[in-house]
């Protein structure tokens, strides 16, 4: 099975395990889409911005000496967007609705990012 399909399966499992998750996008750290579990047609824009945000977040941690990136979480009036490094080459972006259980989102987001990283490691 190809990388795109295996990553998409992990993303689908995330949505099934976490009712507040409305979709996700996986992309390379360069912003190229790998897999998309979103209803909208904005996956290329989401991928590009996800890679940029991951790079900025990682750089901030280096500058401030705060350790390795676990996640970046954006909270808004319409919900949440969480970004995870899924190994050294993939960014996982997860969207959740307002009132989402943030603890569950963080737990399942990290779990999915680890699974995506494992898939990528097997494929290389």
Q: Is the pLDDT of residue 103 over 80?
A: yes
Taking each helix axis from N to C terminus, what angle separates 102-123 and 3-17, rounded to the nearest 10 degrees? 160
CATH superfamily placement of domain 3-123: Dynein light chain 2a, cytoplasmic (3.30.450.30)
Q: What is the DSSP letter of 68?
A: S
Quick check: 16 pLDDT over 90?
yes
**pLDDT (mean) for 42-49:** 91
What is the model's pTM?
Answer: 0.94
- pLDDT of 101 reads 96
The pLDDT of residue 65: 97
CA dihedral 39, 44, 98, 78 (to 10 degrees): -110
Cα–Cα distance for residue pair 106/104, rounded to 1 Å: 5
């Amino acid at each position: 099975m190809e990388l795109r399909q295996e990553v998409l399966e992990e993303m689908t499992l995330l949505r099934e395990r976490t009712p507040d998750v409305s979709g996700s996008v996986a992309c390379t750290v360069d912003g190229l889409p790998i897999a998309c579990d979103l209803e909208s047609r904005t996956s290329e824009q989401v991928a590009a911005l996800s890679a940029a945000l991951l790079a900025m977040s990682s750089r901030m941690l280096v500058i401030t000496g705060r350790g390795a990136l676990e996640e970046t979480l954006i909270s808004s009036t319409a919900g949440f967007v969480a970004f995870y490094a899924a190994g050294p080459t993939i960014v996982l972006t997860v969207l959740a609705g307002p009132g989402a259980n943030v603890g569950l989102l963080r737990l399942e987001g990290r779990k999915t990012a680890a699974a995506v990283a494992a898939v990528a490691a097997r494929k290389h």
